[in-house]
Amino acid sequence: MPKLRRPSKGAGLRIAAVLAAAVSLPVLASPNAHAIAWDHTIHSDDGDPGARLRFEANGDIVELCDIEADGFAAYAEIYDPKTGQTRTLTVGGNGNCKRRDASDSGWNLVEGRKYSFMVALTEGNYIAYPDDETWTA
């Protein structure tokens, strides 16, 4: 049977450093490490909503979620009436979400400008149960 020996002082410190990094790294790397206090939320207009759209003006954060296993995907449009530009998002699969913010190309909204936010369900080219609101970026 091999003899067991005590680890050196340096080995113990290295093990402690590795364990500390392993515990703290997932928390630091988590993209959702802080909770967002959403300014606005709307749902698709079906009886048991299958899509949810949320908006946080600070950072222009837009999140679209498919919240029901109904065979439809969630669909959103953000329309700028001043420029005529429309930004779209689609996400499918119950529980899946897609998020965009000011750091994404084309998603930096003009502060103080009103935008039309629309959420619906989609299947192919078919859009159903839309609901829309006007919110200020």
User: What digits encode the pLDDT tens for the residues 19-48?
Assistant: 454 444 444 444 445 689 999 999 999 989
- Taking the model in full, what pTM does it have? 0.75
pLDDT tens per residue, range 50-80:
999 999 999 999 999 999 999 999 999 999 9
Structural domains in the chain, CATH included, are 40-136 (2.60.40.10)
Q: Residue 88: its pLDDT value, please? A: 97
Contacts of 122 (CB under 8 A, 6+ apart): 72, 73, 74, 75, 90, 128
State which amino acid sits at residue 22. Answer: A
